[in-house]
């Protein structure tokens, strides 16, 4: 139970912070068509976040709903992975982040869809289809940027190099959780390696492995993100919106 | 006489403005089967064009049309498209701070819709023989305008509600008649846009309704937003009829169906009752029912201010254009990469069901 | 330079099983794969379709049946896009 709550919360936080970052792109994308695509992905992440946080709140049994969990916790209480809170950077960094995130979420949600917990299974079944689409979208752009112009290749490789270290945290063993993320690494590697190869990009070596998100130890970026996200909600305690 | 275009809402299928959109769609289909006069496209081109317009049928992209008709449509559709794209900014301003996850999702979807509407409209304009690249460049160079309403700032969350209710409301009043515009691609785009816009107006009204029935601070926030957005929304209908430069010819071509003042009046008449139900006040001490006119008397917006904003001196003109230019410039390397990739890889077409 | 135009694609959507693909509009994309993705995002945000064709100058590209789930299911739960999702207080007309 404790593990189920913690996993629902962690995955809900991943999706929420990812949605918040993707939402920052609205009206700023490289093409108007891409504005629509990024908003779609942000909406999917937000939708998954709401389901997961609602369920986490129920499991906790302390009367916290999705908004209480999203708006009234401080950064040390968030358990999202560091990857999602990193700033958007340029479009290449955003696509590199999305590639790693969706290549993690797809096998994770797929495994959840078959887990014993009915609610998590239902959420997983719904979210994995969305993740498949996100992965597809990220892969499509990583291929184009990697195998596009000299400049785009340089930017895409730099982006992959920049975010790669943050992938390792995703697969930290979590014994007792409904799904142990450590079991998903091979699936992730297979998918990501294929995309990088097609994109004529070099897979960075594993080395520096920043971590701590799942324990509430974040980068300096998260509290700024939360300050903006939570400011209005917190300014009117108890108000309905 | 176009008065029938605005049949009473209770008589239209679906009711309200959405019903009028549906009626326009039905009229479009019905008119397509109507017999016209004798002129065929091979005879006198001008007579054929006039015939199609008279029969309330649609002019399609490859039909002959007067050059001025084409230019008028390009200008109008492009400005409309630009407005949707620039209009993403004032509301996008609140996505990151939306006060609940549900509101965040709704607002994101709404801003996304605006991008979609912009694209529908650019596509409609392109059927008139101008490229989207050219249109975007005209916007970035400041040679085509967008609706001046988006040059006002969104200062509080309630502004998101006020934009939905008043700005989208005014836009819909303007746009519903365009569903019957004589140019087919524009009419069809507007039918699609209006159906989707209905969700926008309702979400705005719902935000204000919630605020108006919330804490005193929330109610004050809602009233403040209405105080700031009311007159700029009235100005969205353009200058008074006497000063409007394009109206008469556009009416004759059935691009425009009602005058600026007729539409403004209609908007005011709709808003009064809706404001009452919100429990909020429209900021016009002279607003009152006129039994003779069967309409509300109201104070006109400040048209000098409208002209100042149109000329580039509203509170946010520079900011909005700078934002758009930066997004376009910063995306250039991505668009170049996609083009280079496409050139390298002959697309492998999939054959599917 | 970036002003080279991504080609125009016409988009056809099959609204439901049993109905023919219908022209819904057009869009720009540098290649077929992107055109199809963009068409899905632009023209089927409200579950308007079960299948899409994008057509550049004479050639047809369509979504394959395999991709249908990921293509269309995600829109199914976005009820807030439909006007009926909103509660309109009693007595409010013209909204």
DSSP 8-class letter at A238: T
Q: How far apart are the first and last CA of chain A?
A: 32
Q: CATH number of the domain that C57 lies in?
A: 3.10.20.520
What is the torsional sign of CA C53, C54, C60, C65? negative
* Residues of chain A positioned with their CB less than 8 A from the CB of B323: 27-28
Q: Residues of chain C whose C-beta is under 8 A from some C-beta in A?
A: 27-29, 33-34, 37-38, 41-42, 45, 69-71, 73-74, 77-78
Measure CA B309 to chain center.
18
> How many CA atoms within 13 Å lie on the side-chain side of A41?
31
Q: Does C74 touch chain B (CB under 8 A)?
A: no
- Kindly compute the dihedral angle of the four CA atoms of residues B305, B310, B314, B320, in this order, to the nearest 10 degrees: 160
pLDDT of residue A61: 97
Q: Does A27 touch chain B (CB under 8 A)?
A: yes
pLDDT of residue C59: 55
Number of domains composing chain C: 1
Do residues C44 and C72 lie in contact, with contact meaning Cβ atoms separated by under 8 Å?
yes
- Rounded-to-integer distance, Cα B143 and Cα B138, Å: 5
Segments of chain B scoring below 50 in pLDDT: 1-15, 347-353
Q: Does B248 touch chain C (CB under 8 A)?
A: no
pLDDT of residue C89: 54
The beta-carbon neighbor of B344 closest among A19, A43, A147 is A147
Mean pLDDT of A200-207: 96
The beta-carbon neighbor of B112 closest among A36, A50, A155 is A36
* Residues of chain A positioned with their CB less than 8 A from the CB of B340: 148-149, 152
- Rounded-to-integer distance, Cα B292 and Cα B296, Å: 10
Residues of C numbered 1-30 whose beta carbons fall under 8 angstroms of chain B's beta carbons: which are they? 1-6, 8, 25-28, 30
Do residues A140 and A149 lie in contact, with contact meaning Cβ atoms separated by under 8 Å?
no
The answer to whether residue C61 scores a pLDDT higher than 60 is: no
CA distances B7 to A237, B4, B19, B35, Å, are 46, 5, 10, 24
pLDDT of residue C71: 47
- Rounded-to-integer distance, Cα B336 and Cα A216, Å: 40
Q: Domain span at residue C21?
A: 8-65
The beta-carbon neighbor of A133 closest among C29, C33, C70 is C70
Q: Is residue C80 part of a domain?
A: no
* Residue contact A47–C37, C-beta within 8 A: no
Domain edges within chain A = 2-203+214-235
Taking one residue from A and the other from B, the number of pairs with CB-CB distance under 8 angstroms is: 140
B338 closest CA partner among A190, A29, A84, C45: A29
pLDDT tens profile A120-142: 999 999 999 999 999 999 999 99
Measure in Å the smallest separation between the Cα of A194 and chain C Cα atoms: 18
pLDDT of residue C76: 46
Taking one residue from A and the other from C, the number of pairs with CB-CB distance under 8 angstroms is: 41
Measure CA C83 to chain center.
19
Note the helical H segments in B142-259.
Answer: 157-162, 168-175, 184-212, 216-235, 247-252
CA distances A60 to A1, A2, A47, A50, Å, are 9, 8, 20, 15
Chains in contact with B, where contact means 3 or more Cβ–Cβ distances below 8 Å, are A, C
* Residue contact C41–A37, C-beta within 8 A: yes
Q: Is residue C74 part of a domain?
A: no
Please give the structure tokens belonging to residue B80.
């409309």
Do residues B251 and B260 lie in contact, with contact meaning Cβ atoms separated by under 8 Å?
no
Local structure of B153: helix, strand or coil:
coil
The beta-carbon neighbor of A33 closest among C27, C74, C78 is C27
- Beta C51-55 vs C61-62: how paired, if at all? antiparallel
- Rounded-to-integer distance, Cα B274 and Cα B201, Å: 12
Measure in Å the smallest separation between the Cα of C70 and chain B Cα atoms: 16
pLDDT tens profile A73-103: 999 999 999 999 999 999 999 999 999 999 9
Q: Does C75 touch chain B (CB under 8 A)?
A: no
* Residues of chain B positioned with their CB less than 8 A from the CB of A53: 101
* Residues of chain C positioned with their CB less than 8 A from the CB of B84: none
- Rounded-to-integer distance, Cα B353 and Cα C65, Å: 7
* Residue contact C41–A130, C-beta within 8 A: no
* Residue contact B335–C46, C-beta within 8 A: no
Do residues C8 and C57 lie in contact, with contact meaning Cβ atoms separated by under 8 Å?
no
Decide yes or no: CATH 3.40.50.150 for domain A2-203+214-235: no
* Residues of chain A positioned with their CB less than 8 A from the CB of B209: none
pLDDT of residue C92: 60
Is the model more confident about B11 or about A14? A14
Q: Does B176 touch chain C (CB under 8 A)?
A: no
Whole-complex ipTM: 0.98
* Residues of chain B positioned with their CB less than 8 A from the CB of C19: none
DSSP B110-136: HHHHHHHHHHHHHHHHHTTS--HHHHH
* Residues of chain A positioned with their CB less than 8 A from the CB of B336: 148-149, 151-152
C64: Cβ contacts below 8 Å, ≥ 6 apart: B350, B352, B353
The beta-carbon neighbor of A31 closest among B102, B104, B335 is B335
pLDDT of residue B52: 87
Q: What is the CA radius of gyration of chain C?
A: 16
DSSP 8-class letter at B178: G
The beta-carbon neighbor of C4 closest among B17, B113, B339 is B339
Local structure of C71: helix, strand or coil:
helix
Lowest-confidence segment of A46-55, A147-156, B122-131 by average pLDDT:
B122-131
Interface-testing mutation among A71, A147, A148, A199, with chain B (most B C-beta atoms within 10 A): A148
- Rounded-to-integer distance, Cα B328 and Cα B138, Å: 13
């Amino acid at each position: 139970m404790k593990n189920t709550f913690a996993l629902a919360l962690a995955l809900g936080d991943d999706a929420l912070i990812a949605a918040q970052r993707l939402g920052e792109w609205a009206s700023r994308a490289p093409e108007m068509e891409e504005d629509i695509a990024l908003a779609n992905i942000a909406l999917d992440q937000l939708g998954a976040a709401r389901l997961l946080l609602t369920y986490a709140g129920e499991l906790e049994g302390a009367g916290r709903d999705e908004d209480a969990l999203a708006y009234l916790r401080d950064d040390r209480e968030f358990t999202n992975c560091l990857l999602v809170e990193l700033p958007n950077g340029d479009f290449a960094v955003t696509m590199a982040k999305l590639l790693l995130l969706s290549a993690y979420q797809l096998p994770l949600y797929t495994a959840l869809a078959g887990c014993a917990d009915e609610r998590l299974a239902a959420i997983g079944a719904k979210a994995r289809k969305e993740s498949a689409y996100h992965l597809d979208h990220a892969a499509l752009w990583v291929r184009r940027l990697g195998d596009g112009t000299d400049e785009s290749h340089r930017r895409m490789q730099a982006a992959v190099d920049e975010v790669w270290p943050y992938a390792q945290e995703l697969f930290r063993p979590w014994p007792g959780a409904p799904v142990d993320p450590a079991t998903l690494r091979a699936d992730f590697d297979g998918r990501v390696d294929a995309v990088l190869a097609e994109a004529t990009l070099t897979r960075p070596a594993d080395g520096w492995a920043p971590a701590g998100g799942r324990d509430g130890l974040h980068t300096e970026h998260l509290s700024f993100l939360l300050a903006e996200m939570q400011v209005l909600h917190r300014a009117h305690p108890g108000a309905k919106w | 006489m176009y008065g029938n275009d605005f049949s009473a809402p209770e008589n239209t299928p679906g009711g309200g403005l959405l019903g009028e959109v549906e009626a326009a769609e039905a009229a479009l289909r019905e008119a397509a089967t109507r017999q016209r006069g004798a002129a065929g496209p091979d005879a006198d081109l001008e007579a054929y064009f006039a015939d199609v317009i008279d029969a309330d049928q649609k002019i399609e992209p490859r039909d002959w049309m007067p050059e001025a008709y084409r230019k008028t449509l390009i200008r109008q559709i492009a400005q409309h498209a630009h407005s949707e794209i620039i209009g993403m900014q004032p509301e996008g301003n609140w996505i990151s701070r939306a006060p609940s996850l549900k509101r965040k999702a709704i607002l994101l979807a709404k801003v996304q819709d605006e991008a979609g509407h912009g694209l529908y409209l650019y596509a409609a304009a392109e059927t008139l023989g101008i490229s989207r690249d050219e249109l975007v460049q005209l916007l970035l160079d400041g040679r085509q305008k967008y609706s001046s309403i988006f040059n006002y700032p969104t200062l509080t969350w309630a502004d998101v509600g006020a934009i939905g209710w008043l700005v989208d409301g005014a836009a819909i009043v303007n746009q519903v008649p365009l569903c019957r515009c004589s140019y087919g691609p524009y009419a069809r785009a507007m039918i699609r846009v209006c159906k989707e816009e209905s969700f926008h107006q309702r979400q705005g009204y719902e935000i204000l309704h919630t605020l108006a029935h919330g804490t005193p601070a929330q109610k004050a926030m809602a009233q403040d937003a209405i105080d700031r957005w009311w007159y700029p929304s009235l100005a969205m209908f353009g200058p008074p009829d006497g000063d409007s430069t394009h109206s008469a010819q556009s009416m004759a071509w059935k691009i425009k169906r009602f005058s600026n003042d007729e539409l403004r009046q209609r908007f005011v008449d709709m808003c009064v009752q809706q404001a009452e139900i919100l429990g909020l006040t429209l900021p016009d001490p002279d607003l009152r029912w006129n039994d003779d006119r069967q309409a509300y008397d109201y104070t006109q917006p400040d048209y000098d201010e409208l002209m100042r904003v149109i000329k580039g001196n509203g509170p946010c003109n520079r900011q909005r254009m700078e934002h758009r230019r930066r997004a376009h410039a910063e995306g250039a390397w991505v668009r170049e990469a996609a083009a280079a990739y496409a050139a390298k890889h002959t697309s492998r077409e999939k054959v599917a069901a | 330079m970036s002003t080279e135009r991504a080609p125009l694609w016409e988009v056809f959507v099959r609204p439901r099983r049993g109905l023919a693909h219908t022209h819904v509009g057009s869009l720009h994309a540098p290649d077929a794969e992107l055109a199809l993705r963009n068409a899905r995002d632009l023209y089927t945000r409200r579950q308007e379709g079960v299948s899409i064709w994008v057509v550049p100058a004479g050639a047809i590209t369509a979504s394959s049946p395999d991709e249908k789930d990921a293509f269309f299911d995600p829109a199914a739960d976005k009820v807030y896009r439909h006007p009926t999702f909103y509660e309109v207080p009693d007595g409010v007309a013209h909204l």
